[in-house]
Amino acid sequence: MDTRRGTVAVAKAAERRNFGQIIKLPSGRYRARYADPDGHRTEAGHIVRHNAPHTFTSRADAEAWLVDERRLITSGDWISPAARLNHRREKAPTMGEYAPRWLAARKVKGRPLADRTRDHYQELLDRFILPTFNNVELRAITPEAVANWYDTAAVGTPTYQAHAYSLLRAIMRTAADPTKNSGRPLVAFNPCGIAGGGSSRSQRRIRPATAQEVATIVAAMPERHQLMVLLADGCALRFGELAELRRSDVDTTNAVIRVRRGVVRSRSAGVIAKTPKSDAGIRDVPIPPDILDAVLDHKARHAAPGAKGLMFPGRSAEHLSPSAFYGKATKKRRGKTDTKGWGWYEARRLAGREDLRFHDLRHGALTEAARHGATLAELMALGGHSTSQAAMRYQQAASSRLAELARKRSEARGWTPSTEQS
């Protein structure tokens, strides 16, 4: 065959279009190509043309490829087909390689992660995610692999399970986003699609402490820490808020506590006093009249001196550490002298409430407020919640308590539940 005549025949088969060319080859297949959108030229001065990485069996397929290429150029996401092919051939990063980079670059609302949040994410990676996916390429993490991992990760600890899944989902979402990876997604899609996987259903039902139980706990605590129990139970304050409370924050004249800061602790940054995560955390909380005298007495005898003195100082007037407050419970030893306990753990043991966490006092305070008719807005203000969802938990808890009281009232009047009702 005359080579020149064959070349001319192919050239005549090339279809001139507004964008690119479709050429019918002697084999009957079609080649698609287009001029470099940036006008680059070869060393010989010819316009650089980009060919499809393969030929097509039909003109329609070649046309579709050109349409996709033009869309990439228009959107600003275009790179040459050859560069894309080379990128696909490159070894994709593993989770163990990608996760540290993701954690270092992660921002929320334009701000770097808080130290405590970063430490928590690192713990989730080390304990739950990397043991399974450390050496697995991101593109090899399938929905099936995620589902199998989810069924075995953090079993028995629903909160950790939900947090670990949420973190994995966030990492894979970033990996699938071309705008976060130099215009090229590392995975075709996010494989984390488990409905409700990021939410936990707490298996622990909180039983609020009774007034007598609180009184027993207060009496068993060291005097310098008794007011912390009263303020958690009466004002719904968090441990971190109490640890950062200053003399100037406690206005006994107007019976109000001004919550402006809280203490957070992290392995990387140590102890930091900072403002709350949301504006709702900054609030004024009324001091219940029945504990005002205790506040005055504590302020006079135990608070550090000066307007900025800590209400609950630790050693050397530093922030009180959790270990110094919680202490340990008495340990019974058969045939030997018992190990004497002290602090919160010992006080709750003496009250017969070894299940009670310090944070449960805050829960009880908010539930009690709801039981006495506090509106949703009032609960949000008291607890420093930025969303109604958190405050609604206490309204629901109060409703449950009212139903329980109604049931006990009926039982006291001789009513007994039927089989269907029990």
Q: Which residues are catalytic?
A: 238, 359, 362, 385, 394
24: Cβ contacts below 8 Å, ≥ 6 apart: 10, 13, 14, 30, 59
Could you tell me if 54 and 60 are in contact, meaning their C-beta atoms sit under 8 angstroms apart?
A: no
3-state secondary structure of 42: coil
Distance CA 102, CA 175 (A): 9
Could you tell me if 251 and 233 are in contact, meaning their C-beta atoms sit under 8 angstroms apart?
A: no
Distance CA 416, CA 132 (A): 53
Axis-axis angle for helices 376-383, 388-412 (nearest 10): 110
Could you tell me if 56 and 20 are in contact, meaning their C-beta atoms sit under 8 angstroms apart?
A: no
For 74, half-sphere exposure in the C-beta direction (CA atoms, 13 angstrom radius) is 7
Tokens found for residue 368:
């009690």
Strand ranges (E), 223-345: 250-251, 256-259, 262-266, 270-274, 283-286
3-state secondary structure of 200: coil
Between the alpha carbon of residue 187 and those of residues 93, 175, 307, the distances in Å are: 10, 6, 56
3-state secondary structure of 332: coil
